[in-house]
A and B are shown apart, each in its own frame.
Chain A
């Protein structure tokens, strides 16, 4: 499971139990992980933690995942941003701007998720 390269991942989800569990799993797999429950918190963490990948839930308390992704994209050296959402694929908004690098449906297979996070830019 361990990979030589350690990466920094930010989880943005107001479902804190889910986030904590995922963070614990990723930590076991050698991924450095931070959790944010709101968009605002995520933006603050992005300034100090410099994540390489961000997993964003679409339905956040203060903004939606699309807005957050756009704000993150607007920064210098933006991270890879993935939607991690319970919305079924056909309920997604048209992702015309290509704001996400990928879409991962809940519940995600942990190993597959890990593989996505580890893939090179």
Chain B
């Protein structure tokens, strides 16, 4: 036996999360370990193996005949050929001592054989008794009684002074949730431990190897040596039962006065749900068969917990769905959202546990439960709105939203969602620091010994560390809780959206009705004007009224068109065969009559036929000519051109004038132009003309464009001819 397999830097608190605990290079002195490769070559052996077996062992060679006890040699032959990595255990007797022989194949393909000395301890029950306990555990109706029952059975079977159940929280911190202990020991239920107390690598190891024992914390490790020719790869002892443990852990045990321990992992869905941890204040080895029985019990316990929790989750989901639809029903039947949410026994506060639940709607704050935070809610939510997420949540406001911390006093956790953007409708759930809701915390505690690594490795030190980790932190928002909040948000926002649509429709209808009702008095004005102008004295007055009512009519038409377009109803284009040449010429004649001084120079190709809504195209051209007249340079002619270009007809209205400014150009075809406000020159309309013209042209699958060059402003309308219907009437 020669070189030790490896050497680590000393393990401290600072590096214990990177300690390679699966390759400790040592075993506890409960027996011996041998590791063979597939060819039966001895690759590793504990330093005590030769002495324990009373024979000569050489690393790097197969065992000589007779070097191993006969039964072991026989089984080794079988195990080396066995594809299954887990082997049936057996017992052998060497001299006066009985050994459990535990074999398995490790991740590197080595067959590991451990010989564990069987100790007869009267405090440990017959494994058969433990198996009977399983039935008792399985019958329990809830997690708490399951755990209590399992702990009772484990303690009865193993005789440990203290048997505890840890449960891991979503942040990986641990809590002692149940306990069975000797009367003289203090109560540890409710104690909390930071996630770091079980480092990540240990967590991974406990998930796959679910049982670990330390029979005597004061043990001297026995080194495991490797063959000199072996690759430097150390022996992977992940599944070894004699594996030596971290010195940090041993110091922790020593500080508590604990001399022996055993732990059983509770694994649910591949995750470490919790652990059963056993302590004893004197050395206390548990025979291998009893440990196996405990492991079986832990597995049954895990399965039962998984079942109960799965049912509880499904029940919660059902309850939440019913509650969400009940709240949504109330809201949709009422105009006042916060009142509807608060008027029954169930409120959004019933959906997710918390210390306060509030609703902001418009400017009113409704508190369903608890007290409102210190700051003004609307301002807080306005700041949260910047995130752009559907659900804003944090269990640490101080870390994630430091600017809001003082406003949200006394809360540490927040879940908020906006369900009605139109009315600034928000739902908010708030939670206090979890430490405040903790029962345990300041219980008197006896003094523990402190080892070389300091007071951190005591239950008190652990609790202080946990308290540091969770400072400013609320209980986390669980996925199911976030889902429930999102479902409620979704329902309420659907209701809000359809309400907004109703309001929009009503507004559109109102505008349309207004336009319609204005036409009657307009008709009267127009008629009165006509009558007035039939007598000489009223002629001038009559013209004015006629002119004004004409202008009013154009405005009404534009508002009506706008309301139709904004309401998504379209302009109701009706295409018929249309002679554009005739139309343009007659519109030019009209313009000339109305404005005798105006020069219009037409260049109209005859016979320009197309399918179009004649009235609407006339509206476009009238608008373009009015614009040219109003915005064009005085005393300069307006050019109106119409010609056939390929399968299109191109209409152009050109005036002399300054180029249109870039900022105006950007909004030229928009309904609401910032420039229209206070624009003194545009007396004749709402600035809707080009917007409507653009829509008309689009409805004809055409295009309208503007360009400015050489002192000219030129609007070009391109319309596809599409003569199918005129060719085949």
Contacts and interface: CB of A to CB of B under 8 A. Distances in A.
Given A15-B524, A17-B524, A25 B519 contact: no
B563 to A, nearest CB: 10
Nearest to B564: A90
B549 interface: yes
Contacts of A24: 527, 531
B522 interface: yes
Contact of B572 (A25, A86, A90, A107): A90
A24 B519 CA distance: 19
A90 B531 CA distance: 30
A108 interface: yes
A102 interface: no
A86 B520 contact: yes
Nearest to A28: B534
Contacts of B557: 88
Given A21-B531, A107-B549, A110-B527, A88 B520 contact: no
A15 B530 contact: no
A107 B564 contact: no
Contacts of A109: 526
Nearest to A89: B572
Contacts of A111: 530
Nearest to A13: B520
B531 A18 contact: no
A87 interface: yes
Interface residues of A, number: 21
Given A18-B527, A22-B527, A107-B522, A90 B571 contact: yes
Interface residues of B, number: 28
B520 A18 contact: yes
B523 A108 contact: yes
Contacts of A91: 512, 516, 572
B604 to A, nearest CB: 25
B528 interface: yes
B525 interface: yes
A88 B515 contact: yes
B524 A18 contact: yes
A107 B525 contact: yes
Given A88-B557, A90-B564, A90-B572, A21 B528 contact: yes
Contact of B519 (A17, A28, A106): A106
A110 B560 CA distance: 23
B531 A107 contact: no
Contact of A25 (B517, B518, B531, B549): B531
B123 to A, nearest CB: 95
Interface string A63-89: 000000000000000000000001111
Interface in A105-121: 105-111
B487 interface: no
Interface string A37-52: 0000000000000000
B512 A21 contact: no
B553 interface: yes
A90 B574 CA distance: 9
B541 to A, nearest CB: 15
A21 B532 CA distance: 11
A121 B117 CA distance: 124
28 contacts: A18-B521, A21-B524, A21-B527, A21-B528, A21-B531, A22-B523, A22-B527, A24-B527, A28-B531, A28-B534, A86-B515, A86-B516, A86-B518, A86-B519, A86-B520, A87-B516, A88-B516, A88-B557, A89-B574, A89-B615, A90-B564, A106-B519, A106-B523, A107-B522, A108-B523, A108-B526, A109-B526, A111-B530
Given A89-B574, A107-B549, 4 more contacts: A25-B531, A106-B523, A107-B527, A108-B523
Interface of B: 512, 515-528, 530-531, 534, 549, 553, 557, 560, 564, 569, 571-572, 574, 615
